[in-house]
Amino acid sequence: MRIALDVMGGDLGPRATVDGAYLYLKEAPKDDHIVLVGDQDLIKERLKHIPEKYHKRFSIVHAPDNIGMNESPTEAFKKKTNASMVVGLKLHASGQADAFVSAGHTGAQMAGSLLTLKRIPGVKRPAIGSFLPSEKGMVFLIDVGANVDSKPIHLLQFALMASIFVGEVFQQKDLKIGLLSIGEEEKKGNALTLAAHQLFKENLPNFYGNVEGRDILKGKTDIIVCDGFVGNALLKMAESVMGVIVKAIKRNIGANLFTNLGALLVKPAFSELKRSYDYQEYGGVPLLGVDGISIICHGNSTARAIKNALRVAHEMSSHQVNKRIAEKLREKELNNA
Amino acid sequence: MRIALDVMGGDLGPRATVDGAYLYLKEAPKDDHIVLVGDQDLIKERLKHIPEKYHKRFSIVHAPDNIGMNESPTEAFKKKTNASMVVGLKLHASGQADAFVSAGHTGAQMAGSLLTLKRIPGVKRPAIGSFLPSEKGMVFLIDVGANVDSKPIHLLQFALMASIFVGEVFQQKDLKIGLLSIGEEEKKGNALTLAAHQLFKENLPNFYGNVEGRDILKGKTDIIVCDGFVGNALLKMAESVMGVIVKAIKRNIGANLFTNLGALLVKPAFSELKRSYDYQEYGGVPLLGVDGISIICHGNSTARAIKNALRVAHEMSSHQVNKRIAEKLREKELNNA
């Protein structure tokens, strides 16, 4: 398969993206090919660091512009026709690439993906999830910000799309699905979750029930569904917690000579912990529900994260995740609900 | 003033509540008096541990029942007329006590406070906040679960009540108020926050603007306002994060002898950190908006937390927080909005 990679997106630029593509190709099936989309001079420069024998598995599409973090997503997407994200998504939409991966402007990628790829038949709203580390492995929280003011039917579709994606791409069986609410009892919640709870009960054999905020990191379920406003606030707070705690520990540790020594000794364990809380190790996540494969990576993705994101794109394609989503919605008769 | 204290509520029982009352009286103005509401035998037993000269500053009201954590709040409140929470709140409502403090069933206390004390004129919905430790001191997040499906006017009232409470009780000036949303720009948010943003701009001179999930613990503002569904999920997740991290560190540390030694040395710093993340050190928080003083404490409150909660009750009264709330709503003409 051919995967278009936005070389310009992300804080680390070609060093992360081109190198990530190389790391991916070293392990990928022989017929996988990466289309590097971005400034051709920068790309060629960076390719010099990649072993010659891999060069035939790359092609370059010149697209020197980049969408800045402060630009309006939809406007930028329409105006900046030479931006790597625009060109890359169009390559995918026109069939010249089978998937698209970017660590660029997330809002622009979501808006652009929807514009160019359209929705899978039956899907009302695309959604984006995020992996969080839990006490029992990873948990997939969806939606973390593609939508606000969701309706119950949207949450049900998020649940179905997420279980197909996580089940197929990460080969997990019997996934338990939780609905985020403010109490475990089915009568606890707001208007949205009370109605969604009933829909989930009727349509999801693997519905666990409501889960509370305190359960998210406990791994009671594999997937947790919520409105994108709530998921976005939760995700961003979770991401910041580790930083706050590290700072607090440093502050505390400074106060005491003995603990200063201790800090030195405990440091390796701490780095390991920090890594395990670094969600980008999972690579990227697809914008679920668009009729194509658009993998969204964190802005500060490393080469390793890009490699993993390319792998997610590959698995999305080889397991026909989108086809299965369309089938499931038809089967549940949710495609016209 | 006379403060009614629910002796039976909370996981630690009279040992925390009676002892907490004693700790409070040691520091409180001489005319403060605590009405101990609960099983009189248990109370008398525990009072034996309190120095004789303080006994005249306690009185006992026998109320042997307790509302269990699994009981329906409103029903339990109506049926269990001998429950310490019911008796205590009625003492306050009838004027025999000037405030009520409990570490019992939070839901029952919220429902019961509203039933017995009613609302401050003009307040549409009472709300409850919680102090979270931030990089720059404490931040007050409101609402954390008294309401779901809030309207913009509710959020504005939460903001006003919170700034009067925090400003008066903790003597803080120039409090900055943030509105939780999914982006800093005023056009980012859901239907609720987009409308609330405009209301805040018009009515709150100290409105900072939108804050994101990642900013909550950074202390960009002193108060953060959100709907109770969102606040509840965020608060419960924040509470669980520390536990998850401690477990992860223990797991990691076990893997290495050197870090094991380090753990021993770093332990004091870590306990201190854990304490600073233990919100119950702030005592309790009032259910803001009811026409009385009902201080809600965490179920596992220690004697020290109870002491602090009693102090909050005292300050609420001496600074006339409720009167100021009513005045502010009249001034802003929000009392009939």
Is the CB of residue B186 less than 8 Å away from at least one CB of chain A? no
Interchain proximity A259–B252, CB inside 8 Å: no
Is the CB of residue B300 less than 8 Å away from at least one CB of chain A? no
Q: What pLDDT, on the 0 to 100 scale, is given for residue B251? A: 63
Q: What pLDDT, in 10s, does the model give residues A88-109?
A: 999 999 999 999 999 999 999 9
Q: Which of A138-142, A280-284, B54-58 has the lowest mean pLDDT?
A: A280-284
Q: What are the structural domains of chain B?
A: 1-123+289-319 (3.40.718.10), 130-279 (3.40.718.10)
* A228: chain B residues, CB-CB within 8 Å: 182
* A70: chain B residues, CB-CB within 8 Å: none
Interchain proximity B248–A273, CB inside 8 Å: yes
Chain B nearest C-alpha distance from A158 (Å)? 18
- Residue of chain A whose Cα is closest to the Cα of B148: A190
**Radius of gyration (Cα) for chain A, nearest Å?**
21
Is the CB of residue A147 less than 8 Å away from at least one CB of chain B? no
Q: What pLDDT, in 10s, does the model give residues B151-183?
A: 999 999 999 999 999 999 988 889 999 999 999
Q: What pLDDT, on the 0 to 100 scale, is given for residue A258? A: 47
A interface mutation test: which of B266, B270, B272, B275 has the most A CBs within 10 A? B266
Q: What pLDDT, on the 0 to 100 scale, is given for residue B141? A: 95
Output DSSP code: residue A120. Answer: P
> Whole-angstrom Cα distance, residue A117 to residue A135?
37
pLDDT at A211 over 80: yes
* B269: chain A residues, CB-CB within 8 Å: 249, 252-253, 255-256, 259, 262-263
Is the CB of residue A69 less than 8 Å away from at least one CB of chain B? no
Q: What is the mean pLDDT of residues A148-171?
A: 96
Q: Which of A92-96, A192-196, A272-276, B319-323 has the lowest mean pLDDT?
A: A272-276
Interchain proximity A182–B233, CB inside 8 Å: yes
pLDDT at B254 over 60: no
A271 — pLDDT class (breaks 50, 70, 90): low
Angle between helices A152-169 and A321-331 (to 10 degrees): 140
Which of A213, A215, A276 shows the shortest C-beta gap to B235?
Answer: A213
Cis check: omega of the bond before A143, within 30 degrees of 0? yes
Q: What pLDDT, on the 0 to 100 scale, is given for residue B258? A: 47
Is the CB of residue A266 less than 8 Å away from at least one CB of chain B? yes
Is the CB of residue A195 less than 8 Å away from at least one CB of chain B? no
A interface mutation test: which of B132, B242, B244, B245 has the most A CBs within 10 A? B244
Q: What pLDDT, on the 0 to 100 scale, is given for residue B128? A: 97
Q: How many CB pairs under 8 A join A and B?
A: 183
Which of A218, A258, A265 shows the shortest C-beta gap to B240?
Answer: A218
Interchain proximity B256–A269, CB inside 8 Å: yes
Cis check: omega of the bond before B143, within 30 degrees of 0? yes
B255 — pLDDT class (breaks 50, 70, 90): low
Interchain proximity A256–B268, CB inside 8 Å: yes
Q: What pLDDT, on the 0 to 100 scale, is given for residue B240? A: 79
Q: What pLDDT, in 10s, does the model give residues A215-236?
A: 998 889 999 999 999 999 999 9
Q: What is the mean pLDDT of residues A287-292?
A: 98
Interchain proximity B268–A259, CB inside 8 Å: yes
Q: What is the mean pLDDT of residues A296-309?
A: 93
Interchain proximity A213–B229, CB inside 8 Å: no
**Radius of gyration (Cα) for chain B, nearest Å?**
21
Q: What pLDDT, on the 0 to 100 scale, is given for residue A73? A: 85
Tokens (6 digits) for B231: 């606040």
Identify the residue with better confidence: B239 or A45. Answer: A45
Q: What pLDDT, on the 0 to 100 scale, is given for residue A69? A: 80
Rounded to 5 degrees, what are φ and ψ at B50?
A: -100, 135
* A150: chain B residues, CB-CB within 8 Å: none
Q: What is the mean pLDDT of residues A160-169?
A: 96
User: Is B238 in contact with B279 (CB distance < 8 Å)?
Assistant: no
List Cα–Cα distances, A268 to A274, A276, B273, in angstroms.
10, 13, 19
